[in-house]
């Protein structure tokens, strides 16, 4: 087979689901691992549900994940167009070929006719399928119906008996009895071709060598193979990826939380963390005993390890606890500059007053608490919102603690800022002058600076807040402690 060419072909009918994103990712990984071509095709023939907004979301989500395509919208390519609604002439041309060869025929059955057939089959305990009532209409009968104003659909004529056998790249040998299928529609009466037909024509003309998609498409494959054969196209290799399930083992849905890429982005996940996590849903890297966290992989590492023989047949479970952990690891590993770029609210916050050094001190103090991007700014209020907490400070209305606050102000009077080393020396000297130790020394200063019993550690207040603000809070607290 020629150079590897794979495609991701979503329908723009909503936000990009993580299942679709995983399919896009596996196609991307396979193409990159093989030195092949990764193609994006938009299957927008569902005119009732396809929207331009959904197309924009698909492109934005794929770009955010870093799954940049080699051919497709915005990129071009020699085998486009890459929107199905721009390829109708190609579809009609190949439908005409099937009609001329007797491999397809016009069907005049109404939806009511088809529903009656379905109901009768179910009533008789049979698998519903099209009866073939229009399969052998004469040319005269066909013309008569057309002349009467009835617009037919077009059905593909499948063999009445036989078996479709193919070697699935993931599931192995797979068999289907063609006699159970019934002739299927390849062009609706409204002029729109159907999925099973368009994807065959597109994949063949775009020279797709490997069709990697979710196993919910497995039942479509025998129909598509018959179309390939009827049109004289070379068959690609097929591989069907397992479903992604929620942690309760049921199909992933809204009740399990975020299910679209956009939702995960809005919740503060990083694209590198999400792609790393998705790569492990149905695929496993080789053992790496020397790695502390063998599942934490860069995109380059995933590509170097990726192969279809390590893709699992069994359904994958979306473990959100694992994803959250992974996202936290990725986020905490970012540089200050990367965090500031990802969280522009830091520069816009009036608390920092665009003080770059203060922002860096804040990130250093709070980094260990980051799990999602929202956590980066979540602790600003702990530092910026302050009032004297009289309830907390009342037990410290003692001469020793008044002396503590006075000496704090004295010892910091000549300083411009406090470093961690400065803070260590400061408290050593305060303990010496006041004879206070442990919580009697640290707690009252913490309450004076934070106004809260819980929150960031004392050292964080000392290193994040400007010394002018620190002294102001201590001074105000001291005045309260002196009150009788």
Neighbours of 260 (CB within 10 A): 19
Would residue 254 show up in a list of annotated catalytic residues for this protein?
Answer: yes
DSSP for 219-278? GGHHHHHHHHHHHTPPP-EEEEEPPEE-TTSSBP-GGGS--BHHHHHHTT--HHHHHHHH
Partner residues linked to 165 by β-bridges: 175
Asked if 345 and 271 touch (Cβ cutoff 8 Å), the reply is no
Eight-class DSSP state of 47:
T
Question: What are the C-alpha distances in Å from 52 to residues 61, 106, 272?
Answer: 14, 32, 27
Asked if 98 and 156 touch (Cβ cutoff 8 Å), the reply is yes
User: What share of residues in the chain are helix, strand, coil (percent, to 5)?
Assistant: 50, 10, 35
Q: Which residue has the tokens 């037919």?
A: 152
Please state, in angstroms and rounded to a whole number, the distance separating the CA atoms of residues 267 and 263.
6
Partner residues linked to 260 by β-bridges: 17
DSSP for 371-436? SSHHHHHHTHHHHH-----HHHHGGG-SHHHHHHHHHHHHHHTT-S---HHHHHHHHHHHHHHH--
Kindly name the residue from 254, 353, 439, 468 that is annotated as catalytic: 254
Please state, in angstroms and rounded to a whole number, the distance separating the CA atoms of residues 248 and 1.
41
Asked if 18 and 261 touch (Cβ cutoff 8 Å), the reply is yes
**Going by DSSP bridges, is the β-strand pair 237-241/210-214 parallel, antiparallel, or unpaired?**
parallel
Please state, in angstroms and rounded to a whole number, the distance separating the CA atoms of residues 200 and 215.
17
Q: Tell me which residues are annotated as active site.
A: 254
């Amino acid at each position: 087979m020629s150079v590897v060419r794979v495609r991701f072909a979503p329908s723009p009918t909503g936000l990009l689901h993580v299942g679709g994103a995983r399919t896009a990712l596996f196609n991307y990984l396979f193409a990159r691992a093989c030195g092949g071509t990764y193609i994006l095709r938009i299957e927008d023939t569902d005119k009732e549900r396809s929207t331009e907004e959904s197309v924009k979301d698909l492109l934005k989500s794929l770009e955010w994940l870093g799954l940049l395509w080699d051919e497709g919208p915005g990129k071009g390519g020699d085998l486009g167009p890459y929107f199905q609604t721009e390829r109708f002439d190609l579809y009609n041309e190949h439908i005409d070929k099937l009609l001329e060869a007797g491999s397809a025929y016009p069907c005049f059955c109404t939806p009511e006719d088809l529903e009656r057939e379905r109901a009768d089959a179910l009533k008789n305990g049979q698998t519903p399928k099209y009866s073939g009532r229009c399969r052998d209409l004469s040319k005269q009968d066909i013309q008569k119906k057309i002349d009467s104003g009835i617009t037919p659909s077009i059905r593909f004529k499948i063999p009445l008996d036989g078996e479709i056998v193919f070697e699935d790249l993931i599931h192995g040998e797979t068999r289907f009895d063609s006699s159970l299928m019934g002739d299927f529609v390849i062009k609706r009466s409204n002029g729109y071709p159907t999925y099973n037909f368009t994807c065959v024509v597109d994949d063949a003309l775009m020279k797709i060598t490997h069709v990697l998609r979710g196993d919910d498409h497995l039942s479509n494959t025998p129909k598509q193979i018959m179309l390939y054969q009827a049109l004289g196209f070379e068959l690609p290799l097929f591989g069907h990826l397992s479903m992604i399930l929620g942690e309760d083992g049921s199909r992933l849905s809204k009740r399990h939380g975020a299910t679209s890429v956009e939702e995960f982005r809005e919740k503060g996940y990083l694209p590198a963390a999400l792609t790393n996590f998705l790569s492990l849903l149905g695929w496993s890297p080789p053992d790496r005993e020397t790695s502390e966290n063998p599942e934490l992989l860069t995109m380059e590492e995933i590509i170097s390890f990726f192969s279809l023989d390590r893709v699992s047949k069994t359904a994958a479970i979306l473990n959100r606890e694992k994803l959250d952990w992974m996202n936290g690891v990725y986020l905490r590993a970012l540089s200050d500059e990367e965090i500031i770029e990802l969280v522009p609210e830091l520069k816009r916050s009036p608390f920092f007053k665009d003080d770059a050094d203060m922002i860096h001190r804040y990130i250093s103090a709070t980094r260990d608490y980051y799990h999602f991007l929202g956590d980066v700014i979540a602790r600003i209020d702990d530092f910026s919102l302050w009032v004297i907490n009289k309830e907390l400070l009342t037990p410290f209305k003692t001469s020793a603690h008044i002396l503590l606050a006075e000496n704090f102000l004295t010892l910091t009077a000549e300083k411009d800022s406090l470093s961690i080393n400065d803070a260590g020396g400061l408290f050593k000297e305060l303990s010496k002058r006041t004879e206070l130790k442990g919580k009697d020394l640290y707690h009252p200063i913490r309450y004076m600076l934070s106004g809260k019993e819980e929150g960031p550690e004392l050292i964080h207040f000392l290193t994040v807040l400007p010394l002018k603000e620190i002294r102001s809070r201590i001074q105000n607290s001291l005045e309260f402690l002196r009150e009788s």
